[in-house]
Structure 1
C-alpha cells in the first residue's frame, strides 16, 4: 500500500494495468491519450481528472477501486508547489491569475493574486486553495521519507490571505505531510463579504517554504476558466539561475512553452516572467530552474536529475512516446511555408534550451517529433561556436557510401545512455527549401552522422535499431567522449 503522502491512485493504476497485461502504450491507445501521460499518472507526477479516473476504472475492469483511490487522494500530492481552485460548478471566472515566487537564498516566498468574477447564480462564500510540495521530483520514495520525518506544517507556511483590505478566514480541509488544502472564507471575526453573482473581487494569499522542502519547480494547473495567467520567478542574480518551462494536458505529453519567459534584473534578483491568455482548462504549466550549486547549504544534498529527466523538463519527448515511432508528415511547400517556419522556430528554441543543459562537443540535432510535432523538419547544429544551423525539410536519403565507421551517439530522447552505431561516412540528402525548391546536399563524417540520426527520427526510428545485433547502449557515466568531437582518419 502507498505510504502517507504517496498517491494510492498511482499505485492502483500501475497494479491493474500490469494485472491486465497492458503496456503503457496500449492503454494510452485505448484511451486516446499520450503514453507519457500514463507514465506521469503512474509516477504520481500527474493526477488526472475524475472523468479520466472513471474511464481507467472501466477500461481496466477495476471494480471501482481506481475511482475510489482517486477520490481518496482527493487531488493527490502533486510533485510541485501548486495552488488549486474551487470546482468549476461554483461559477467562478478567473480574470487574472498571477503567481509570484521569490527565493531569498534559503526560503521560497510565494504570493498568489487572483481577480475573480462570480458567473453563477449563488453567492460564493469560500475559495479552495491547495499547497503541495515535492523536494525530490521523480524520486517519490525519497520525498516521502523526507516528509514523514519532517512534515510541512501550517506554522512554517505562515499562510496569510486577504480579499481587498479584509483578512479572510480559514478552514483546513486536509493536512498531510506534503499536502495541504484550506478553504479561504469570504468572512472573518468582524464581518462577512460574500462574492455575489455578477460581482468581482481580488484575493491575495501568501506562504513560505524553506528550500529543504521545496523542489526546483513550480506548476500551475488551470482548473477554472481563466482569462490571463502569469507566473513570475525571482532568484538572486549571483546564483546564476537558468529557467525553462513546459506545458502538458490530458491528451498531450510535455511540450515547451509556446512563448519563452522574459528576463529582467530587479535590484539583486533576476526575474523571469511568463504570461498566457485564455489557457485551456486542465492545462498544466510548469516552470523549472537550476541554481548554482555552490550556494546550496553544505548540509543539503544536491538532487541531480538524470540526463533524460533534464531533457524531459526542457520539453524533449522521451522514449516510449508513440510519436517517436511514427513517420513524420512531410510539408507541402511552399503552401505550408508559414507552418514550416513556425516549427523550425520552435526547434531553434528547443536547441537553445537543451544547450543550456549540456555541452555538445560533437554538435547536435533535433527533429520535430522530439518536441511533440509530427512534421518532417529537423535542425542540425555542427560542432563549433561559429557554425550555422542546418535546416532540413522533408529530408530523404538518396545516396550512402559503402565505407562505414562506428561511433558512440547520444539521443535527447533517452539521454542516460550512449550507443555504438554504424553509419556511412558519406551521404547525399534530398530536401526542400522553404519556397519549395528541391535541394541535394552532401554530408560527410560527423555531420553525416548527425544528419542521419535526425532523418531516422523523422522515419520513426531510434538509433537502437541501427546498432549491431547483440550490442547494447552503455550508461552515460561509462562514456568518456562527452564534450569531444568524433575522430576520423
Structure 2
C-alpha cells in the first residue's frame, strides 16, 4: 500500500523521536515523565497510532536536546498537514537552547547564584531575570532549597537530617521583585516541607497589591536564605529546570580558611564529568571569590561546585572540635597507623580445636562491618582484619565490592599463586582513614584458607575482590598497603580524593 507524504512525515518524526530517546538511554515512561505527558501517549506517537502535536514536539525537543532535529521533523509534518496543496503558514523555529516547554512560557534570561560563608553561616542569594514568552500571566514561581550535610553518604545525611531537620525559621527566606531601584516584597507559600528539602511558591503579590508577570513582560526576582554549617555540606548545585540563556555561579569564601574549589556537571545525555570551563579565582580583601558561568545550559543539566577549607580540618564538627575520619574509626575500636600490633604477624587458629575462639573473632569482625555502614559508603567493598581490632589472630571478614551476599570469612589465609598481570587502584584503610594510596595488585590471586571444621581449600579471587582479599592478608602478615606502593608515590588526603562512592574500574 502506498503511503502519503503526510504519513511518511509522521513516520520520520516518530523515528527521530525514538532515535534520540534511546540515544539518551531513556525508557518511554521516563521520557513521558520528563515531558509531563502520559506514558501511553509517547508509546502511541512512536507507534504511529497518534500524530505529533506542536506541544509534544516542543517538549520532546527541549528534554532530549536534539539540536533542532525533532523540531525540524515536526515542521516538515506540520507544513504538509496545513498546506494540503496550499501555502504553509510562516513559523519561526525557536533558536536551539531556547525551547519553551508549552504551558509555562517562561524563560530565565539570566541567573546569578551567589553563596557566601560568613560568621559560620552560609547565605544564598539567587537573582533571576525572567521573560514571559507565553500567552498567560504568571502569578507564581517555584523555587527549591535542598541541603545535604554529607554528600556521597546519603544514608548518613538522611539520618542526620531526620535528627536535625531544616526549618523555615532558620532559613529566614525573603524574596523581592526588582524594578530599577524599587524592591517589591513577594509573599511565599510552602509547597513541600521535608527534613532536607523545601519547595516554595514565590508569589507575584504581597499584602499591598498583585503584580503578575504578563505575556511579553520581563521581571527580575531575588530571593535569599541562610543555612548553618551543621546542615550545609561543602557543595552548591544549580539545576536547570526552566529554559535558561545564561547561568552564573559565585562562591564568596573566607581567605583565612584557604578554600579549594572544583566543579562537576551532568545532563540527560552525559554522565558526571568536570566543568567544561574552569572556575575563575580572585582575591578581594580577606575574601576569595570563585566565579563560573555557562551560556545556553541544557534543560535538566546540573552544575555542582564543591570545596574544602584546607586551613580547617576535614571531618565532623563536634562540641569539642573537628572529628577527623580516622577519629571516627578509632571510636569504633579500630587501631590506627602507628599501633605496634598492626606490624606483627598474626597467630593461626588450630582448627577445629579452636573453633569457638575463631567464631568469636569472626562475630566481632562482622559486627564492626555492620557498624561501619553507618559511617561511610563502601562502594568498592570493605574488609577488616583481626589485628585492626587489637586481636593478633589470623582472621578477616570481607564484603564484596557489589555489597551483595554474605561477607567472606577467611581463617588462616595465605596467597599460594598470583596472576602476572597487575593494575594500580587507589585503596583506603580503616587504620589510617585520612588518606588514600595508589597500590599495584595482581588481577587474580589463589588463596588457601581453613574452614571452621579444619578442612583446607583454595579459592581464586579476581579484580576488586582479589584486591580486597590481598589487602586483608597483608594485615594478617604485619604489612600495610603503603608497603606495596611504588617509591616516591605520595598519599592523597581524603579531602582531595575524588572517587569516594565510585567502584573500582576494570
TM-score by length of 1: 0.50
The corresponding residue for 1:128 is 142
The corresponding residue for 2:166 is 152
The corresponding residue for 2:288 is 270
Q: Secondary structure at the match of 1:187?
A: coil
1:251 and 2:269 are equivalent in the alignment: yes
C-alpha spacing 1:145/1:87, structure 2 compared with 1 (3 Å): farther
Separation (CA, whole Å) in 2 of partners of 1:136 and 1:467: 27
Q: Secondary structure at the match of 1:410?
A: strand
Alpha-carbon contact 1:95-1:116 (below 8 Å) kept: yes
Separation (CA, whole Å) in 1 of partners of 2:222 and 2:464: 56
| Equivalent of residue 409 in structure 1, options 404, 416, 424 | 424
Alpha-carbon contact 2:261-2:308 (below 8 Å) kept: yes
The within-5 A match list for 1:56-455 is 89-164=103-178, 165-291=183-309, 292-294=311-313, 297-299=317-319, 302=323, 409-410=424-425, 420-421=440-441
Deviation at 1:106, TM superposition (A): 1.4
Deviation at 1:149, TM superposition (A): 1.7
Alpha-carbon contact 2:425-2:440 (below 8 Å) kept: no
Separation (CA, whole Å) in 2 of partners of 1:217 and 1:479: 31
Separation (CA, whole Å) in 2 of partners of 1:87 and 1:475: 58
Separation (CA, whole Å) in 1 of partners of 2:270 and 2:106: 26
Separation (CA, whole Å) in 2 of partners of 1:245 and 1:33: 23
Separation (CA, whole Å) in 1 of partners of 2:241 and 2:140: 16
The corresponding residue for 2:89 is none
Alpha-carbon contact 1:95-1:228 (below 8 Å) kept: yes
Deviation at 1:476, TM superposition (A): 12
Q: Secondary structure at the match of 2:237?
A: strand
Q: Secondary structure at the match of 1:208?
A: strand
1:56-94 CA deviation, whole Å, 9 max, x = no partner?
xx99xxxxxxxxxxxxxxxxxxxxxxxxxx986311111
C-alpha spacing 1:48/1:129, structure 2 compared with 1 (3 Å): farther
1:255-314 CA deviation, whole Å, 9 max, x = no partner?
111111100112211110001011111111111111133498553655769xxxxxxxxx
The corresponding residue for 1:485 is 487
Separation (CA, whole Å) in 1 of partners of 2:137 and 2:473: 59
Deviation at 1:50, TM superposition (A): 2.2
C-alpha spacing 1:482/1:187, structure 2 compared with 1 (3 Å): farther
C-alpha spacing 1:479/1:49, structure 2 compared with 1 (3 Å): farther
Separation (CA, whole Å) in 2 of partners of 1:469 and 1:177: 39
C-alpha spacing 1:483/1:204, structure 2 compared with 1 (3 Å): farther
What stretches of structure 1 of length at least 5 have no aligned partner? Answer: 1-29, 39-46, 60-85, 306-317, 320-403, 424-463
C-alpha spacing 1:141/1:167, structure 2 compared with 1 (3 Å): same
Q: Secondary structure at the match of 2:482?
A: coil
C-alpha spacing 1:258/1:192, structure 2 compared with 1 (3 Å): same
Alpha-carbon contact 2:441-2:467 (below 8 Å) kept: no
Alpha-carbon contact 1:232-1:274 (below 8 Å) kept: yes
Deviation at 1:250, TM superposition (A): 1.8
The within-5 A match list for 1:3-18 is none
Alpha-carbon contact 1:420-1:467 (below 8 Å) kept: no
Q: Which one has a bigger Cα radius of gyration?
A: 2
Alpha-carbon contact 2:112-2:128 (below 8 Å) kept: yes
Separation (CA, whole Å) in 1 of partners of 2:117 and 2:298: 29
Separation (CA, whole Å) in 1 of partners of 2:136 and 2:31: 28
1:24-77 CA deviation, whole Å, 9 max, x = no partner?
xxxxxx96557xx99xxxxxxxx998249987xx99xxxxxxxxxxxxxxxxxx
Deviation at 1:473, TM superposition (A): 5.9
Alpha-carbon contact 1:88-1:224 (below 8 Å) kept: no
The corresponding residue for 1:76 is none
The corresponding residue for 2:33 is 50
TM-score by length of 2: 0.49
1:371-400 CA deviation, whole Å, 9 max, x = no partner?
xxxxxxxxxxxxxxxxxxxxxxxxxxxxxx
Q: Secondary structure at the match of 1:166?
A: strand
Q: Secondary structure at the match of 1:142?
A: helix
Alpha-carbon contact 2:313-2:324 (below 8 Å) kept: no
Q: Secondary structure at the match of 2:256?
A: helix
- Tell me the number of residue pairs that the alignment of Structure 1 and Structure 2 aligns: 287
Separation (CA, whole Å) in 1 of partners of 2:272 and 2:167: 32
C-alpha spacing 1:48/1:282, structure 2 compared with 1 (3 Å): farther
Q: Secondary structure at the match of 1:148?
A: helix
Separation (CA, whole Å) in 1 of partners of 2:111 and 2:247: 5
Q: CA RMSD in A?
A: 4.5
Deviation at 1:175, TM superposition (A): 1.0
Alpha-carbon contact 1:418-1:476 (below 8 Å) kept: no
